């Protein structure tokens, strides 16, 4: 299996051309979603799909014991809920806002009518799903082969692509990310997050202030990700 790497934001953006996306979502209903609220839950009826105008959501799967794993993050321009548009099945995962979001909604009926006259939309969505499957494979490889510290470093570097802002050589993650979310992204226990972050603060690699994490030494964090033990 290929060596796990930190995914980039481009891995999760929709493959739909802007002209096609604009036409599909023309006149679509705008929905607001507050931080912490679920857009839909795994098992819900797939009644339509969404395009994110602003904000950030997490795609979450849960075990029978209630343990959650964040399998991806989706930001502006991404299409959400497209799998149900392709196979007609229920939602395969839960989608929850981690910041206030604005989304456009298109019903299944409108999507199917559009697809009848624009069959190429299916191939674009399949390519998007293929990219996300590759991302899921990489996440599986990370959880199998990388150490706890490497997985946590990978999760932080992933967040840089979405909410990172340069500030005098450091990178602020301008989004309130909880230790629980970091644990769910990395697939590790929350206490391991606390222990590792404490060590990184001591070594001045990652700090936290005003509810935001700040990556002081990105190169050092990348080296942590490369470590396999």
Residue 168 structure tokens: 């005098």
Helix, strand, coil share (%) of the chain residues, nearest 5: 45, 25, 30
pLDDT at 228: 56
**Does 188 lie in the same domain as 117?**
no
- pLDDT exceeds cutoff 50 at 13: no
**Does 137 lie in the same domain as 32?**
yes
Residue 165 DSSP one-character state: E
Q: Does any domain span residue 222?
A: yes
* Rounded distance between C-alpha atoms, residue 49 and residue 51, angstroms: 7
**Mean model confidence pLDDT for the chain:** 85
Residue 98 DSSP one-character state: S
User: What is the arithmetic mean of pLDDT over 34-50?
Assistant: 95
Query: pTM value?
Result: 0.79
**Does 110 lie in the same domain as 205?**
no
Lowest model confidence (mean pLDDT) among 19-23, 93-97, 99-103: 19-23
**Does 81 lie in the same domain as 61?**
yes
Residue 192 structure tokens: 């391991």
Residue 19: how many CB atoms within 10 A of its CB?
A: 8
Determine the structural domain holding residue 83 and report its residue range.
Answer: 9-142
Of the three residues 109, 124, 142, the one that is the final residue of a domain is 142
């Amino acid at each position: 299996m290929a060596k796990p790497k930190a995914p980039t934001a481009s891995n999760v953006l929709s493959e739909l051309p802007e002209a096609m996306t604009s036409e599909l979502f023309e006149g679509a209903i705008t929905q607001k979603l507050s931080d912490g609220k679920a857009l839909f839950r795994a098992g819900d009826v797939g009644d339509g799909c969404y395009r994110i105008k602003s904000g950030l959501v997490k795609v979450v799967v849960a075990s029978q014991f209630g343990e959650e794993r964040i399998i991806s993050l989706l930001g502006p321009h991404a299409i959400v809920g497209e799998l149900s548009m392709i196979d007609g099945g229920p939602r395969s995962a839960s989608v929850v806002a981690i910041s206030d979001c604005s989304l456009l909604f298109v019903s299944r009926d409108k999507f199917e009518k559009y697809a009848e006259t624009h069959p190429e939309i299916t191939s674009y969505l399949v390519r998007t799903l293929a990219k996300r499957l590759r991302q899921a494979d990489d996440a599986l490889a990370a959880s199998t082969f990388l150490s706890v510290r490497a997985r946590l470093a990978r999760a932080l570097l992933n967040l840089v692509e979405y909410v990172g802002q340069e500030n005098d050589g450091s990178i602020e993650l301008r989004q309130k990310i909880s230790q629980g979310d970091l644990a769910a992204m990395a697939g590790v226990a929350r206490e391991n997050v606390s222990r590792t972050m404490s060590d990184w603060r001591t070594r001045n690699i990652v700090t936290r202030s005003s509810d935001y994490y700040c990556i002081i030494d990105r190169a050092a964090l990348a080296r942590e990700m490369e470590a396999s033990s």
